[in-house]
Structure 1
Amino acid sequence: MMLHELVVAAARRTPDALAVQDVTDALTYRELDELADRYAAALVHAGVRAGDRVVIWTAKSVATVALMQGCLRVGAIYVPVSAANPPARVERVAAGCAPALRVTDATGMDRLSQDENEHGDENDAEHGDGAARWRELTALAEGAAGLLPPPPHQGSPDDPASVLYTSGSTGEPKGVCLSHANALAFVRWACAELAVEPTDRLANHAEFNFDLSVFDLYAAFHAGASVHLISSEAAYAPEQLVRLIRDRELTIWYSVPSVVALMITRGGLLDGPAPTLRCCVVAGEPVSVEHVRRLRAAWPAVRLFNWYGPTETNVCSSYEIGALDSIPDRVIPIGHAACGDALTLEPTSDGSVGELVVSGPTVMLGYWGEAPQVGPYATGDLVRRNDRGELEYVGRRDHMVKVRGHRVDVAEVESALVELDAVAEAVVVTTGQGLAARLHAVCVVRPGAKAPTLLEVKRRGARRLPPYMLPDAVHVVGELPRTANGKYDRPSLAKRIERGELG
């Protein structure tokens, strides 16, 4: 079984059932199947072949979903990039995966034009080629005569399906390469665990380059259910999100905990009658015990889950939250192994916690352009077992942090900061968790230079970083503190910021 065969099968079973809906458009399974075929034909006409990468830098839409399906049908590998990413970061993603085609929409075209007007036209040829190809694809997919769908690609479930770019420790984005089999191992488990049915209506809150979207799309397609795309503009507007849940009568919600917290505290999620949700799942960052208690008290019949897993493994552990009186006082566990994966703890020096190591069917093929992943994957996450044998997340062993559900390697932010003429050294630290998480840039200014303002840092950083990676505050120091072995002393900086000692 391949990922794109899920839509083909659903179109045969229930062709007139709703498959995917965005803000303005909706497609039945028959319509999605036909549009995916037309995009497949257009891709072949554009020269895309099996194994090629296609970078898709667009807003979320039903057409984008059909294009991703079209890529899979010709054996190509889709590389989704959020529309919020600046052109410079899209270029770095493209440099990393060498795509046969880059696709953008009207929003991306506007971003490219603005970028070229502000920063010169050194990349005009590359930008123009990608934009022209999108117009061609759209025209062809909308019904140009003479194009027939290509024969189904005869691939293997172990073939790459997508490359999801995350923040990288080298300062460059890293492409997590996932196979059809990787995704399907998770999707089949998740559909069984949540008992997803054709009548379900799933929310898609995450961007397509975020691994949470794998569930939203492919669990819906596996079950013949419908998936409802939430625009980037509405993604952090709590009242709109709550209204969407009620208006679309959604039955399954999946997002980072901070978004659920936002809906509780500012969107009125728990006010009035309970929505139609029967499952609410969170993942991507630690979840607040307080908010879990409030959810359980208000929704005694809704199934609540805390899922865990880095992009490199998707979900590899799961914890179902029980009755109100069974909710832990201190921390919500990440539970037990899921999706057929095996979890082991590699002991650390003090023995109180261990680094979580994952082996099994959801472990990625590897990072694009690097050696294949062989054997278990060491997550870099520190966990411990509680007295019930459940895993609890403790933190990271490196400099990877989570900010409002997004994985951020501070090295990538730091590399952008030192590109500023005034900055000699820079360290990025975080304070707070969930909605309160903040990125702080601590800078040493070059002699005679004027310290950069937060506005300048955000404006320059936006050329190469997505919005969630831009610092929330800038602090200037004469010298960065270091540990005994010469490394930056990040914990001491974070403590000084929390105490208000850095301006």
Structure 2
Amino acid sequence: MMFIHQLLDHSAQTTPQHTAVEEDEGGTITYHDLAALSNRVRDRLRYLGVRRGDRVGIYLRKSIDTVALIFGILKTGAAYVPVDPGAPPARNAYILNDCSVKVVVVEKCFEERLRSEIGRGDEMPSFFLLEGAGSGLPLKQALDNLQAQEPAPITETEIVSPDDLAYILYTSGSTGKPKGVMLSHRNAVSFIDWCSEVFEPNDKDRFSSHAPFHFDLSILDIYVPIKHGATLVLIGAEMGKDPTRLAALISQKRITSWYSTPSILSFLAQYGKLQQHDYSALRTILFAGEVFPIKHLRTLKSLLPKPRYFNLYGPTETNVCTFYEIPDYIPEERTQPYPIGKVCSHLQAIVVDEQGQEVPSGQEGELCISGFGVMQGYWNLPERTARAFLVDPSGQPWYKTGDIVVQDVNVNGNYIYIGRRDRMIKRRGYRVELGEIEAGLYRHHAVKEAAVIALSDEENGVRVKAFLSCKEAEHRPSLIELKRFCAENLPVYMVPDLFAFREVLPKTSTDKIDYQKLKEIA
């Protein structure tokens, strides 16, 4: 098998002068130059003591510099650990401390706060400082300066095994501390090969990179275009949240394959003025990370009817594990989100009950996934890793997603997403999935965003609170109107007890609704 860092060198040999990466503000780099820059990173990191099996932290904004660093780290045989530049320094320091990074590559503007948080005595990691991030120049300048002071010899790319770690992505943990999902070259390559099989990319494609590099959507963004000699178009954090500028950029950059969370696509459909631009190049729209409200998906498809649309489902622990192609036409009467589809060809799936026994098609249960794409475990959390897996009588491990699904017995055996096990509550004797209440609220013509949380209540056991943002703040519905609407569209036991309006709902760094923040507000 080809390892993920070898994808770059292969494309550098076959299409050396083709543009590998473009930034939204104009910086570009060819495959030849990106491979050469990553080799310089490899040599410098080796000089700093990085060896096969080590971890290297990345604390800088998305840029050509970051992409070169990722491949340079992989070429040493180490795993990269990206952190969110917009997150509190204390959280990032925890992550870098937790997995004992050997070196952390940091933008100068983040250095002071990180140093004050990361102290580990004798185990303090080496800092590799860049003056900024963009176009690859800050990285080149840092390498030039270090080479002039302390020359690093040219080395060979490390020979690794398929089960060596390639990257560790940290996700929120139930304890309040993030947990590191360990993913190997085998995990990554099996997923990249599946993407190649289904989406059939070529060297003329131009892939968006909207997701931050600490989010699992970035794995498709980075490695699929690099494998095929295509162009990766990086979209910065500020541009990525401005629907008007983003809509223009997708057209101007002639993006052929778009991938993001549904939240971003919903904003584009509502506020991007898509009808003003030419999207004739766009052939694939992929979305993942959360449920796509059907009314926003219908609007988007009416504005952009040409591309193929795919609903990709999967947690960080498996990356995408099921997929579903959205039909060309969405009936007006449809209100339910589309299925999450069938299991990907490099994985296997079963649905089990609370005792871990497989259930027949048509019966609800927890989706469990096995195969080459499944994580090795959580960094330094063996007990948590053990709890995350179901081991069947043959000894085969199955990752428990925590998501409740049902396999449709009538329509091609697609999995239908019911909801998170941890977002299900019991109310008035009924089992209630909070996402179902959200889907009902999205049917209101004035609702732009809806998020529902459960609050413990001594008298009633649980109260349900709905947070809403509206398309037009001055025309938001009254409480009486909302109660009447909910009574008409939801079972009585699902009608929220409380409503709160906000101009926008809080988001995580990966553009999902921040339920933890809403609980703090409530």
TM-score range, shorter chain: 0.7 to 0.9
TM alignment of 1:221-370, pairs within 5 A: 221-324=226-329, 329-348=335-354, 352-370=363-381
Whole-angstrom distance in 1 between the partners of 2:457 and 2:268: 39
Deviation digits for residues 101-144 of structure 1 (CA, Å, limit 9, x no counterpart):
122113323xx45x89xxxx575788xx7684325976553372
Whole-angstrom distance in 2 between the partners of 1:11 and 1:307: 30
Whole-angstrom distance in 2 between the partners of 1:303 and 1:124: 49
Deviation digits for residues 186-226 of structure 1 (CA, Å, limit 9, x no counterpart):
11111221110000000000000100000010001111101
Going from structure 1 to structure 2, the CA distance change for 1:254 and 1:266 (only over 3 Å counts) comes to: same
Name the aligned partner's letter for residue 32 of structure 1.
Answer: L
The equivalent of 1:380 in structure 2 is 402
- Of 99-108 and 171-180, deviating more is 99-108
Name the aligned partner's letter for residue 353 of structure 1.
Answer: E
Whole-angstrom distance in 2 between the partners of 1:123 and 1:176: 21
Whole-angstrom distance in 2 between the partners of 1:340 and 1:376: 14
Name the aligned partner's letter for residue 457 of structure 2.
Answer: P
Q: CA deviation at 1:52?
A: 0.9
Of 134, 151, 168, the match for 2:129: 134
TM alignment of 1:446-465, pairs within 5 A: none
Whole-angstrom distance in 1 between the partners of 2:291 and 2:275: 21
Q: CA deviation at 1:295?
A: 3.1
**Amino-acid identity (%):** 36
Name the aligned partner's letter for residue 350 of structure 2.
Answer: T
Structure 2 unaligned regions, length at least 5: 132-138, 390-396, 426-434, 443-447, 467-495, 502-520
Name the aligned partner's letter for residue 219 of structure 1.
Answer: V
TM alignment of 1:405-420, pairs within 5 A: none
Going from structure 1 to structure 2, the CA distance change for 1:167 and 1:325 (only over 3 Å counts) comes to: closer
The answer to whether the 8 Å contact 2:167/2:182 transfers is yes
Higher relative contact order (CA 8 A, sep 6+): 1
Alignment coverage as a number of residue pairs: 428
Tell me, what secondary structure is at the counterpart of 2:339? coil
Name the aligned partner's letter for residue 405 of structure 2.
Answer: V
The equivalent of 1:67 in structure 2 is 69
Structure 1 unaligned regions, length at least 5: 402-428, 443-479
Q: CA deviation at 1:493?
A: 5.2
The answer to whether the 8 Å contact 1:35/1:141 transfers is no
Q: CA deviation at 1:288?
A: 1.9
Q: CA deviation at 1:431?
A: 8.4
The equivalent of 2:191 in structure 1 is 186
Q: CA deviation at 1:98?
A: 1.0
Whole-angstrom distance in 1 between the partners of 2:206 and 2:117: 45
Whole-angstrom distance in 2 between the partners of 1:231 and 1:439: 29
Name the aligned partner's letter for residue 205 of structure 1.
Answer: H
- Of 292-301 and 149-158, deviating more is 292-301
Deviation digits for residues 269-322 of structure 1 (CA, Å, limit 9, x no counterpart):
244543421000000000122222233333333111000000000000000112
Of 405, 421, 436, the match for 2:449: 436
- Structure 1 length normalisation: TM-score? 0.77
The equivalent of 2:178 in structure 1 is 173
Whole-angstrom distance in 2 between the partners of 1:8 and 1:238: 35
- Structure 2 length normalisation: TM-score? 0.75
Deviation digits for residues 336-374 of structure 1 (CA, Å, limit 9, x no counterpart):
001411111112599952111001111001111123666
Name the aligned partner's letter for residue 231 of structure 2.
Answer: S
Matched, 1:10 2:34: no
The answer to whether the 8 Å contact 1:205/1:254 transfers is yes
Tell me, what secondary structure is at the counterpart of 2:404? strand
Q: CA deviation at 1:260?
A: 0.4
Tell me, what secondary structure is at the counterpart of 1:234? helix
TM alignment of 1:85-104, pairs within 5 A: 85-104=87-106
The answer to whether the 8 Å contact 2:465/2:500 transfers is no
The equivalent of 1:461 in structure 2 is none
The equivalent of 1:481 in structure 2 is 457
The answer to whether the 8 Å contact 1:168/1:174 transfers is yes
The equivalent of 1:105 in structure 2 is 107
